[in-house]
Structure 1
């Protein structure tokens, strides 16, 4: 009986945790999408500056 009670308690504790995990995952995904978009914008900007820099470097080498 002790084992059964323990599993029931664990199940009760786990149920809200699972729900919380789902909502947390959704929130994380949303945040990840936002950060990914920001990162992509930054990356494209960095790539553009890097390309310009490399072009400048190549002209200097020549």
Structure 2
């Protein structure tokens, strides 16, 4: 267990990889960014 161990967290940090022990932190998409409140849906009248 240490920097040379590929399965440990410290080993993943040292080698710069991700896995089960050190998952990637995903950025959340904010719902306000998806739907703009200012623009209204145009309807044919």
**Length-normalised TM-score, structure 1:** 0.33
Higher RCO by CA contacts (8 Å cutoff, separation 6 or greater): 2
**Length-normalised TM-score, structure 2:** 0.39
- From the two aligned structures, give the one with the greater helix fraction: 1
